[in-house]
Amino acid sequence: MRRAGIDTYRQPVLYLHRDCPVCRAEGFAALTRVRIGSGGRDTVAVLNVVTGDWLSAHEAALSEAAWQALRPEPGALAEFAHADPAESCSLLRAKVYGARLGEQDFAAVLRDVLAARLSDIELAAFVTACAGDRMDLDECIALTRAMVAAGDRLDWGAGPVLDKHCVGGLPGNRTTPIIVSIVAALGYRIPKTSSRAITSPAGTADVMATMTAVDLNLGELRRVVEREGGCLASGGRIRLSPADDMFIQVERPLDIDSGGQMVASILSKKAAAGSTHVLIDIPVGATAKIRTPAAADAIARRLTLVGEAMGLRVGIHLSDGRQPVGWGIGPALEARDVLAVLRCAPDAPRDLRERALDIAGAVLELLPESRPGRGREAATVALDSGAALEKFMAICEAQGGFREPGKARFARAFVSPTTGRVACINNRLLARVAKLAGAPNDPTAGVVCTLREGDPIDAGAPLFVVHAEAEGELAYALNYAAGHADILAIRSGPE
């Protein structure tokens, strides 16, 4: 066996030459699922057949995922066999055809997902079959419970454990680091784990990774929380609802978010993290993820009911999702906004500050002893006094040390073709420009947009500035913007 050095996400892939005697004897063809055994370990991989001369007929090459699963010694031999169909394949097909699944059914699917017994194609079929309105409330509860049971679960002992989550879809809405710092500064526990970006230019973990270490293991996370009351970590190494990370790997290239799976994803991780009181922020706007008040009410109801079934007190915060929050869109650019708010800088984006205070106040008012309005008052004092900044720096220090976010090599403005006022901002298109510029893979890439609806603009003045690490990506993002005049729609003429 040899290492192919090919990244295939988490899907183990085996490469055999078409003239390989094992291939011919066993009737292996491209995309055959093959069980590989070596040195007491085994995995199931999808076969890719090699026709060129980079692989001999007596070698087997392994993708990175397959290599890490087997970890063979130098010169190791392997045994190959047709893999038995995954036990959950029949359940997957049943769901595709509209059947309802129970908790044990979902548990069987998750076992096969975590053991890599389902191919990416099969996993994509499952994710798609659960998308839209194809999961009822009972199924959503069953999937949430199965996802919690499939991983580790934290226990912080008696007393409230606070948390918050935003369903997303709003560029630059990076309130979490500010909220965690405020809540922890006030003496409450808030062990926050976040995912990397799925369909957006940045997730909270991507933003925090520009300032400190986020890939903590379970022991490191517990140490940080016990020392500082909160953390701002990635959930990637902790195995809290680990199947969700597998779903995310499929959802990212499909660019979809399933409503039922989104609820199960959010609440399974909150329950697994030991949270007791969870505030969910739902931005609502025509180009946000949740587009109408009716859709927001539906997802809020499902979050509340599934939360109750999981023993969580869930609060809902509906917010304005018509336009971006903060100036930056992209990991490092959003990190700069977070620091500006925490440092109470005079040029800090006010909308980010106010939204963070609103949500922090709502988190604090989930506590039984809290009274309406008092939460926001306490949050404002913690921010304005510098206590939140001090706590943020302490959390970063506990996670490995703080560093200032970097800057991109290239930046260029996209200018307004006309004089007028900003009529509306398309969140999805603006986020797309940031992604084409390289975010989140290039942490310093993205977009800076300081305009808001109703702001005046002169012809030739910047609508937004694109930041990129490569000139090609910069040009690609700007060309895309030039072809989509409604990213920032300008109403010309008198107001």
Whether the Cβ atoms of residue 81 and residue 26 lie closer than 8 Å to each other: yes
Whether the Cβ atoms of residue 352 and residue 360 lie closer than 8 Å to each other: no
Catalytic residue among 244, 245, 257, 337: 257
Main-chain dihedrals φ then ψ at residue 282, nearest 5 degrees: -120, 95
Write down the pTM of the prediction: 0.87
| 248-298: pLDDT as tens digits | 777 766 766 667 888 998 999 999 999 999 999 999 999 888 999 999 999
Q: Which residues, including other chains, have CB under 8 Å from residue 192's CB and lie 6 or more apart?
A: 163, 164, 176, 180, 204, 230, 231, 232, 233
Taking Cα atoms as reference points, which of 117, 153, 89 lies closest to residue 10? Answer: 117
Q: Which residues, including other chains, have CB under 8 Å from residue 403's CB and lie 6 or more apart?
A: 210, 211, 212
Whether the Cβ atoms of residue 33 and residue 119 lie closer than 8 Å to each other: yes
Whether the Cβ atoms of residue 167 and residue 204 lie closer than 8 Å to each other: no
The per-residue pLDDT for 409 is 97
Taking Cα atoms as reference points, which of 150, 151, 152, 2 lies closest to residue 70? Answer: 2
Report residues of the chain scoring pLDDT below 50.
495
- Residue 136 annotated among the catalytic residues of the structure: no
- Cα distances (Å, whole numbers) of residue 114 to 46, 183, 243, 309, 315: 16, 34, 6, 25, 31
- Cα distances (Å, whole numbers) of residue 375 to 95, 158, 379: 44, 22, 6
- Cα distances (Å, whole numbers) of residue 11 to 45, 80, 118, 313, 495: 7, 17, 9, 37, 56
Give CA–CA dist 414/444, Å, rounded: 18
Cα 345–348–352 angle (5° rounding)? Answer: 135
User: In whole numbers, what is the pLDDT of the chain averaged over residues?
Assistant: 92
Count of Cβ atoms closer than 10 Å to residue 489 Cβ: 14
The per-residue pLDDT for 257 is 66
Main-chain dihedrals φ then ψ at residue 217, nearest 5 degrees: -85, 180
